[in-house]
């Protein structure tokens, strides 16, 4: 008996019915070259890994007027959210009263949107950065929200934009959390995990640090650089991300640390393993260094 031909790659996202009309059977849809996103949504396996390629498939079976929101909107605005498990779930806002159910590939949020709460990005309707921030305030833990706030203020928003978003929804889930994050936010932060570290120290009641501080010697020459610093106490923190494992970076870090120590600075170095796995020890070390 002749073998059935291997299906050609789907040219665009498809439902089961549309695939049948195009001549693809259920057998074709089970082929490894095709990925099933949920009950009735299929894409080419080659396209399934990219958010930009999955969105049309999900939106074609979403209610009319669904708007990309929350974590998915943040990803589209290139805002990283720390402390979250990796997930391909697409978040969508739909009008209150919409009769929809969450699926494995999508989560619906029923709420009102004003016309100026949305923009177009990548050709899709998505919540604005400031509306995305206000929505995330209702679902993220404070440290993660601070990281989002820092990133938005660095590139996409001014404080007044976020204040206006909060003024439009001054109560309800996330309102208090949004105010606290906005009060601590600083666009000079260099990475989301530095924001998490800052929140940890803030909650411990430690003095607010200077970010991205350049340490100088008595002759006015730069001898080092700190992600967080308290210049009046000559205490400096370097947050070591993965790139610090590279040999050249590692050697440069050691030399810079030696220069700082010789000039009387206390240098503390932490990684994400410290901040997430030993937060009490991180706080204790900083408190001791500051003499607080």
- DSSP bridge partners of 235: 230, 266
pLDDT of residue 243: 55
Checking if the pLDDT of 7 tops 70, the result is: no
Mean pLDDT computed over 125-137: 99
User: Residue holding tokens 């790659």?
Assistant: 9
Q: Greater confidence, 52 or 66?
A: 66
Q: Does 3 score more than 70 pLDDT?
A: no
Q: Which two tokens stand for residue 165?
A: 């978003």
Q: Residue 153: what pLDDT?
A: 98
Query: What is residue 252's predicted lDDT score, i.e. its pLDDT?
Result: 76
> Is residue 154's pLDDT more than 70?
yes
The string of DSSP letters for the chain reads -PPPPPPPPPSS-B-HHHHHHTT--HHHHTSTTEEEEETTEEEETTTTT-HHHHHHHHHTTSPTT-EE-HHHHHHHTT---SS-----PEEEEE-TT-----BTTEEEEE----GGGEEEETTEEEE-HHHHHHHHHTTS-HHHHHHHHHHHHHHT--HHHHHHHHHHS-SSTTHHHHHHHHHH--TT--SHHHHHHHHHHHHTTPPPPEEEEEEE-TTS-EEEEEEEEEGGGTEEEEE--GGGGSHHHHHHHHHHHHHHHHTT-EEEEE-HHHHHH-HHHHHHHHHHHHT-
Query: What pLDDT is recorded for position 47?
Result: 65
What is the average pLDDT across 14-32? 69
Averaged over 200-219, what is the pLDDT? 95
Confidence of residue 1 (pLDDT cuts 50, 70, 90): very low
Which domains does the chain carry? Answer: 16-58 (no CATH), 67-186 (no CATH), 193-290 (3.40.960.10)
């Amino acid at each position: 008996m002749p073998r059935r031909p291997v299906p050609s790659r789907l040219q665009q996202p498809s439902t089961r019915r549309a695939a049948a009309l195009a001549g693809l059977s259920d057998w074709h849809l089970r082929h490894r070259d095709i990925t099933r996103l949920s009950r009735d949504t299929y894409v080419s396996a080659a396209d399934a890994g990219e958010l930009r390629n999955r969105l049309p498939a999900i939106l074609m079976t979403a209610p009319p007027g669904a708007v990309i929101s929350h974590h998915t909107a943040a990803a589209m605005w290139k805002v990283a959210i720390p402390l979250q498990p990796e997930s391909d779930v697409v978040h969508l806002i739909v009008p209150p009263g919409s009769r929809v159910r969450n699926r494995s590939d999508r989560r619906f949020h029923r709420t009102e949107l004003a016309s100026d709460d949305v923009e177009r990005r990548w050709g899709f309707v998505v919540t604005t950065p400031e509306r995305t921030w206000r929505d995330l305030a209702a679902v993220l833990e404070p440290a993660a929200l601070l990281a989002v706030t820092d990133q938005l203020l660095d590139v996409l928003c001014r404080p007044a934009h976020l204040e206006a978003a909060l003024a439009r929804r001054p109560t309800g889930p996330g309102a208090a959390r949004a105010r606290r994050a906005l009060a601590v936010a600083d666009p000079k932060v260099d990475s989301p995990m530095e924001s998490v570290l800052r929140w940890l120290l803030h909650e411990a009641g430690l003095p607010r640090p200077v970010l991205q501080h350049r340490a100088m010697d008595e002759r006015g020459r730069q001898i080092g650089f700190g992600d967080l610093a308290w210049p009046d106490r000559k205490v400096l923190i370097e947050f070591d991300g993965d790139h610090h494992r590279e040999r050249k970076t590692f050697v440069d870090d050691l030399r810079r640390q030696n220069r700082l120590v010789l000039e009387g600075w206390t240098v503390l170095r932490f990684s994400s393993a410290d901040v997430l796995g030993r937060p009490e020890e991180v706080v204790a070390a900083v408190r001791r260094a500051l003499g607080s």
